[in-house]
Structure 1
Amino acid sequence: MEWTGARYADAPEVVVDTWIAAPPERVWPLVSDLERMPARSRELESLSWLSPDRTVGARFVGHNAHPSLGSWSVEGTVVECDAPDRFAWEMDGSDATDAPSARWTFTLVPDDGGTRLTQRARMGPGRSGLSRAIDAMPDKEQKIVFVRLREFESAMTRTLEAVRAEAEASG
């Protein structure tokens, strides 16, 4: 992937995928249950639902920690829930624009007797904690964005590996 020169305002994305030896119906609950995500993450420490349902419009809060960015909590909203094909959520921005600070998407496609699982993360366009780092060092914006995208890619790869292992073990 090429991110050199990416700026936060460009809403840069990271995409990773894997093939899983399990049908989408077995993979779906592993990606659509956000409460499972902290166990797969080095950054997301816990997640609590604010809404009783888990459909489009459901709200939750994630509690995060990062060695360089500190600790923070942010609310999010499920924006797509099309079982067993697509699940997505957006995190609230930290400004008054109502624009999300990030969008995370899982896409599940039947593929050769299993599932092609793709995870996509998009930064912005709303402000996030990363925006504060960019504000403090605007001349380093491209490097800040590049490093954060690499962290996303690494974390997403670990997540997909964990989902694959769980789905294949439950078969």
Structure 2
Amino acid sequence: MADTYEKLLEDTIEISAPAEQVWSLVTDIPAMAKWSPQVVKSSVKGGVVKQGATFSNLNKQGLKRWPTGGKVVRFQPPTATTPGEFAFRIRENRTVWSFELEPTADGRTRLTERRETPEGISGVSMLLTKVVLGGQKPFTAELRRGIRQTLERIKAEAEAGA
């Protein structure tokens, strides 16, 4: 049986902070290691996060470590009345990770994190996930837990600064 993957992973959280404040957190790629349990370190080439910016990550699972590279593919800051979106594509596996920020009428933010696979997942990544990272099903469960943990950590930081 083929090791299949889920095309979309997503979760949403409500944050008691304005969307502009949450935007400053989710677009801070070097700070992502504070929120994502899979990220050890990230650095942006040129230091500025914007449309087209590239960056490198060091990821982890237990004692395992692996590098990835990303490129910002959507960079639309929110306004008081319109959603914002920040998305990046990971070179090695072709997945697109995104944060959508929806301002609410009461000044809060609805934050959704997604992992999408518009071009599928690369064969090399499928093989490495199967052989090194425990297979698609357990790795996907780990990613789902990581998305939730990332959202909860961003919420805590945003609300502490609100």
Q: Same fold (TM over 0.5)?
A: yes
Q: Residue 109 of structure 1 corresponds to which residue in structure 2? A: 102
Structure 1 segments unaligned to the other structure (5+ residues): 95-99, 138-142
Distance 2:92 2:44 in 1: 18
Please tell me whether the aligned partners of residues 93 and 127 of structure 1 are also in contact (alpha carbons under 8 angstroms): no
Distance 2:111 2:23 in 1: 10
Q: Residue 56 of structure 1 corresponds to which residue in structure 2? A: 51
Distance 2:105 2:140 in 1: 30
Correspondences of 1:76-115 after superposition (within 5 Å): 76-84=70-78, 85-93=84-92, 100=94, 102-113=95-106, 114-115=108-109
Correspondences of 1:1-171 after superposition (within 5 Å): 7-8=4-5, 12-67=7-62, 70-84=64-78, 85-93=84-92, 100=94, 102-113=95-106, 114-123=108-117, 124-134=120-130, 136=131, 144-171=135-162
How much does 1:81 deviate?
0.6
- Residue 127 of structure 2 aligns to a residue whose secondary structure is helix
Q: How many residues matched?
A: 152
TM-score where L is the length of structure 1: 0.79
| Partner deviation per Cα, 1:113-140 (whole Å, 9 max, x = no partner) | 1111000013543345443243x59xxx
